Chains A and B, each alone.
Chain A
Amino acid sequence: MRAVTKRFPGVVANDAVDLVVKCGEIHGLLGENGSGKSTVIKTLTGVHQPDAGQILRDGTPVSISSPVVARELGVAAVFQEFSLVPSLSVAENIHLGRLPVKAGRVDWQAMRDNARAVLARLRVDIDPDAIVGSLSVASQQLVEIAKAIAANASLFILDEPTAALGQDEIAELHRVVREIKANGAAVLYISHRLDEVAELVDCVTVLKDGKVAARAGETEVNVEAIVGAMVGNVGDHYPKVVATPGETALEVTKLSNGGKVVDVSFAVRRGEVFGLGGVLGSGRTDIARIIFGLDPVVSGEILIHGKKVRLNSPADAIAAGIAYVPENRKFDGLFFNFAGIENMSVAAFGRFTRNGLLDLTAERSLTRELISRLAITPAAEERLVGLLSGGNQQKIVIARWLFARADILLLDEPTQGIDIGAKIGAYNLINELAAEGKSIVLISSDHDELIAMSDRIGIVSNGRLVETKPAAMTSKTDLVRAATAGETRQ
Chain B
Amino acid sequence: MKAILKSPVLAPLAAWLLVALVTAITTPHFLDAGNLSNLALQVSIVAVVAIGSTVVIIGGGIDLSPGSAIALLTMVFAIMVKFAGIPLPVAIVLVILAGAGLGAINGFLTAYLRIPSFITTVAALSAFRGVAFMFNNGSPVFSVDPNLETIFYGTLFGLPLPLYYLVALYTVAWFAMRYTRLGRSIYAIGGNAAAAMLSGLKVKRLQFLTFLIAGVAAALGAILMAARLNSGSPNYGVGLELSAIAAAVIGGASLVGGRGNIVNTAIGALTIVTVQNGLNLNAVPTSAQNVIIGAIIVIAVGIDMWRVELGGVIGALMPNRKNK
Q: Which chain A residues have a beta carbon within 8 Å of chain B's beta carbons?
A: 292, 294, 313-315, 317-318, 324, 326, 331-339, 342, 346-347, 349, 353, 356-358, 360, 382, 384, 400
Contacts and interface: CB of A to CB of B under 8 A. Distances in A.
Interface string B106-142: 0000000000000000000000000000000000000
A331 B193 CA distance: 9
A315 B202 contact: yes
Given A349-B181, A358-B180, A318 B258 contact: no
B197 A314 contact: yes
Contacts, number: 79
B258 A337 contact: yes
Contacts of A356: 180
Q: By CB atoms of chain A within 10 A, which of B185, B194, B200 has the most?
A: B200
B179 A337 contact: no
29 contacts: A292-B198, A294-B198, A314-B197, A314-B198, A314-B200, A324-B198, A331-B192, A332-B194, A332-B195, A335-B187, A335-B192, A335-B195, A336-B191, A337-B187, A337-B192, A337-B259, A337-B323, A338-B187, A338-B258, A346-B188, A346-B196, A346-B201, A349-B185, A353-B181, A357-B180, A358-B181, A384-B321, A384-B322, A400-B199
Given A338-B188, A339-B322, A382-B322, A358 B179 contact: yes
Contacts of B201: 315, 346
A315 B199 CA distance: 7
Contact of B198 (A333, A336, A342, A358): A333
Contact of B192 (A315, A334, A382): A334
B259 A332 contact: no
B181 A346 contact: no
A349 B184 contact: yes
B195 A334 contact: yes
Contacts of A349: 181, 184-185
A338 B191 contact: yes
B99 interface: no
Contacts of A384: 321-322
Contacts of A353: 181
B61 interface: no
A342 B258 CA distance: 12
Shortest beta-carbon contacts, A-B, top 5: A337-B258, A337-B191, A335-B191, A315-B200, A347-B199
A358 B196 CA distance: 18
B190 interface: yes
Interface residues of B, number: 27
Interface of B: 178-181, 184-185, 187-188, 190-192, 194-202, 254, 257-259, 321-323
A332 B192 CA distance: 8
Contacts of A318: 199-200
Given A335-B258, A338-B191, A346 B199 contact: yes
A331 B199 CA distance: 13
Contacts of A347: 199-200
Nearest to B312: A9
Contacts of B322: 338-339, 382, 384
B150 to A, nearest CB: 35
Given A331-B195, A335-B188, 14 more contacts: A315-B200, A318-B200, A331-B192, A333-B198, A337-B190, A337-B192, A337-B254, A337-B323, A346-B201, A347-B200, A353-B181, A382-B322, A384-B321, A400-B199
Nearest to B183: A358
Contacts of B187: 335, 337-338, 342
A327 B198 CA distance: 12
B196 A360 contact: no
A358 B186 CA distance: 14
B43 to A, nearest CB: 28
Nearest to B259: A337
B200 A313 contact: yes
A411 B195 CA distance: 15
Nearest to B254: A337
Contacts of B179: 357-358, 360
Contacts of B194: 331-332
Contacts of B191: 335-338
Contacts of A335: 187-188, 191-192, 195-196, 258
Nearest to A360: B179
A313 B205 CA distance: 14
Contact of B184 (A315, A332, A342, A382): A342
A76 to B, nearest CB: 25
A326 B194 CA distance: 10
A116 to B, nearest CB: 38
A358 B188 contact: no
A477 B184 CA distance: 48
A324 B198 CA distance: 8
Q: By CB atoms of chain B within 10 A, which of A324, A331, A338 has the most?
A: A338
Contacts of B321: 384
Contacts of B192: 331-332, 334-337
Contacts of A339: 322
Nearest to B187: A337
B14 to A, nearest CB: 22
A294 B199 CA distance: 11
B170 to A, nearest CB: 18
Contacts of B184: 342, 346, 349, 358
